[in-house]
Structure 1
Amino acid sequence: MPWKLSSEFTFDSAHVITGYDGPCGRLHGHTYRVRMELTSDRLRPSAHVKRAIMVADFKTLKWAKKDVDVGGLDHAYLNDLPDLGDDTTAEVIAAYIHRKTMERVRADLPEGDDGADLRLHVTLWETPDSSCEYWE
């Protein structure tokens, strides 16, 4: 993969791990830190520039840092998200962010481009020293 696009950001959210025997079973919050790394064999246009000069738009990778009221995860109660429900571990959240990001990246692709060469690696920190990585 000749190109790797990287972006890091934080968002604040609350959750409960339902059925957890301990403090994580109670309502609590985190300042999550996310690193997105998207690799590609080639450059493409984006929704904001029609020339093939990007792996993807940074805006597309940073969707989760937006407020929950505009489709992001910032200041969300994660258990209210239909795709997460009671399963709000770092592992499940990292996979969710991966899936939703790839949906957005693919939605920006030009007609006829299936994005088969695109690979996304998501790292999610729940605390400064505890993280989870997800990729396909």
Structure 2
Amino acid sequence: MPWKLSTEFTFDSAHTIVGYDGPCGRLHGHTYRVRLELQSGRLRPSAHVKRNIMVADYRTLKWAKKDVEAGGLDHAYLNDIAELGDDTTAEVIAQFIHCHTLQRVREALEAGDDGADLQLKVTVWETPDSACEYWE
């Protein structure tokens, strides 16, 4: 793929890993760092520019950075998010961000463009030295 778009952001959230025998089984929080890498075989327009000059709009990619009340993950109690429930490990959060980011990018595409060539890799750092990558 000739283009790879990368962006990073952070969000602060709390969670409990239900059933975990140790400190992570208690309520605690993290400043999560997220890196998104979106590859495409072609350039497209966006909601803000109608020429084929973007892989995707950074605004669309950074949805998770928004406050929980605005549909993001910042300052959320992750266990309250129905799709995550009690499974709030970095692995599950990375998959969740992957799914919702691709969905948002595809929803922003023009009619007739299914985004089949788009490939996304999500990296989530739960601590400065512990990360998980997810891609399909």
Is the counterpart of residue 129 in structure 1 residue 129 in structure 2? yes
**What SS class does the counterpart of residue 49 from structure 1 fall into?**
coil
Per the TM alignment, residue 47 of structure 1 is displaced from its structure 2 partner at its CA by 1.2
Larger mean Cα displacement after TM superposition, 42-51 or 9-18: 42-51
In the aligned structure 1, how far is the partner of 2:11 from the partner of 2:4? 23
Name the structure 1 match of 2:81. Answer: 81
| Unmatched tracts of structure 1, length 5 or more | none
Tell me how far apart the structure 2 counterparts of residues 64 and 115 of structure 1 sit (CA, whole Å): 20
1:45 alignment counterpart: 45
Distance 1:88 1:53 in 2: 36
Number of positions where the alignment pairs a residue of Structure 1 with one of Structure 2 = 136
Counterpart-to-counterpart distance in 1, 2:23 and 2:109: 43
TM-align CA RMSD? 0.4
Moved >6 Å (runs of 4+): none
Partner of 1:56: 56
Report deviation, 1:8: 0.3
Partner Cα separation in structure 2 for residue 27 and residue 100 of structure 1: 25
Q: Which consecutive residues of structure 2, in runs of 5 or more, have no partner in the other structure?
A: none
SS of residue matched to 1:43: coil
Q: What are the Cα deviations for residues 82-113 of structure 1, in whole angstroms up to 9, with x where unaligned?
A: 10000000000000000000010000111000
Q: Distance in 2 between matches of 1:115 and 1:83?
A: 24
SS at match of 1:83: coil
Aligned counterparts, 1:1-136, within 5 A: 1-136=1-136
Equivalent pairs: percent with the same residue? 79
Residue 48 of structure 1 deviates from its aligned partner by 1.1
